[in-house]
Amino acid sequence: MKKINLGILLLLIASLSSCRLIGDIFKAGVWSGILLVVVVVGLIFFVIAKLFGGGK
């Protein structure tokens, strides 16, 4: 009976830690995506400014 309880406890801990790991991966992905969008939008504005006389 104790082995079953220990197994269930280990399974529960493993599932909680994997959920936390997946959550952390998604958080990192969200911040990387936001940073990438900001860089791309800034680059687009820079190129448009150079093309239409922003460097005069």
pLDDT in single tens digits along all 56 residues of the chain: 555 677 777 766 666 666 777 777 788 888 888 999 999 999 999 999 999 886 55
What was the pLDDT predicted at 48?
92
What was the pLDDT predicted at 17?
67
What was the pLDDT predicted at 39?
95
What was the pLDDT predicted at 44?
95
Total residue count of the chain as it appears in this document: 56
**Helix or strand holding residue 21 (H, E):** helix 2-51
Contact 49, 55 (CB under 8 A): yes
Cα–Cα–Cα angle for 21, 22, 25, nearest 5°?
90
Cα–Cα–Cα angle for 21, 24, 30, nearest 5°?
145
